[in-house]
Amino acid sequence: MKKFVGLMFSMVLLLSMYARADLTIEITQGVDNPTVIGIVPFGYSGARGLPEDIPGIVRADLKLSGQFRPIPVSDMLAFPRSEAEVIYRDWRILGAEFLVTGDIKEVQGRYTVTFELFDILGQRKLFRKSIVGSEAQLRDLAHYISDEVYEKITGIRGAFSTQVAYVEAFQQGKPTDRFRLMLADADGARPRLLLESKHPLMSPTWSTDGKRLAYVSFETGRAAIFVQDLATAKREQVTNYKGLNGAPAFSPDGTKLALVLSKDGNPEIYTLNLITRQFARVTQHFAIDTEPSWTPDGKSLVFTSNRGGKPQIYKVTLATGMVERLTFAGDYNARARVSPDGKSLVMVHRSNGVFHIATQDIQSGDLRILTETYLDESPSISPNGAMLMYATRFQNKGILAAVSLDAGVKFRLPSKQGDVREPAWSPFFD
């Protein structure tokens, strides 16, 4: 099969190649009273210039969250590098509530970054930490600092060190049309090409350990599900049935895939044990059942079905097969994802003929529309449950956008080329 695919279909696996189609960030809405924070230029002692602006990346990360307002460097009264140099009065004058200082040392290509966080109003140091990395890891070190600062101040684990997978499409109805499976930092930086094909690529999804991606490819002439190891670029086709093979989703323990197959007639939900390679049918109904997603405990699946006449969200308990309808508001609810705490559903919701992203409290049923743009789809929740990313249209182009689950923070990540779709936010990389 691998030789056949290689001969018949032109695919390019370029795991280490960086693409030029950076996702540029455009913050469109933040909270009303963001926390004011000073992040001073870090001290540096090294034999060569720094290829990355670490404090600049930290400022951008925290600003991107919508919950912080970094003080411009041009407004700062001083650039302290140690606790002894911090004059709290100067920072209170600027309205700062917190301050980050840092120092970078380079020895034989290894960088040690020491950073401190200060509570300006309380006039105390909250922590001092040091991290070490190579030149290629400087951006990772910056995201780590952002995560630590964010968590200490908000109490929520930061997700700046995570990544997002997405599909980039170049379609003009010509033989040169192509599709790319891409990987980038959560802020859109360092885009990397994982796979390029002249055939459609769809539905990327992460394993819970962040080491594999499952996705749908049409390279064999029909929809098929592949699993790809990100470290080695090795990929494996796991379905080869006639008809529909789609919507893969890894179980929380990484041992199974939930997916949709129509091999027995109409589309139904199945699970595939990735160890034994055994399929198990989950739903049995004459309606269309599709788009499965696991609950955090791995005991149930939520899915889309038109068994009630129109697409709505249902939950099936795997141990008993019991099915429960979860959504009732509106005439269309689909592509549901469960928040990491298991309390909320995020979904595509149609209201007045327009598709929006909405969230629903699972226990109370309360629905909240999060987005106001047109044709919003494919929501994916950040691993800390604070934000979600989705695909939408902006200026007649497919882009990615993000919104907080309380709708207070919004930003866009348009690509410089191609239509961008099907985002999948990674888990934490522990």
Q: Which residues pair with 301 in a beta bridge?
A: 294, 316
Q: Which candidate, 92, 71, 83, 91, places its Cα nearest to that of 125?
A: 83
Contacts of 324 (CB under 8 A, 6+ apart): 314, 315, 316, 317
CA distance 196 to 165: 13
Read off the pLDDT band of 11 (50, 70, 90). very low
**How do residues 112-136 score in pLDDT, each as one tens digit?**
999 999 999 999 999 999 999 999 9
For the stretch 341-377, pLDDT in tens is 999 999 999 988 888 999 999 999 999 999 877 778 8
- What is the C-alpha to C-alpha distance for residues 414 and 168, in angstroms, rounded to an integer? 11
The string of pLDDT tens digits covering residues 158-201 is 999 999 999 999 876 666 789 999 999 999 899 999 999 999 99
Backbone angles phi, psi at 341, to 5 degrees: -85, 0
CA geometry: angle 208, 214, 218, nearest 5 deg: 170
**Tens-digit pLDDT profile for residues 47-86:** 678 889 999 999 999 998 888 999 999 999 999 988 999 9
Secondary element (H or E) of residue 126:
strand 124-134
Residue 16: per-residue pLDDT: 32
Here the contacts of 13-17 (C-beta below 8 Å, separation 24 or greater) are 13/194, 13/195, 13/233, 13/235, 14/193, 14/194, 14/195, 14/196, 15/192, 15/194, 15/230, 15/232, 15/233, 16/192, 17/192, 17/193
End-to-end distance of the chain based on CA atoms, in angstroms?
35
pLDDT at 20: 39
Q: Which long-range contacts (CB under 8 A, 24 or more apart) does 119-123 make?
A: 120/38, 120/88, 120/91, 120/92, 120/96, 121/92, 121/97, 123/88
Q: Are strands 35-39 and 98-107 parallel, antiparallel or unpaired?
A: parallel
Share of the chain above pLDDT 70, in %: 90
Q: What's the pLDDT score for residue 333?
A: 95
Q: Which run of H or of E encompasses 133?
A: strand 124-134
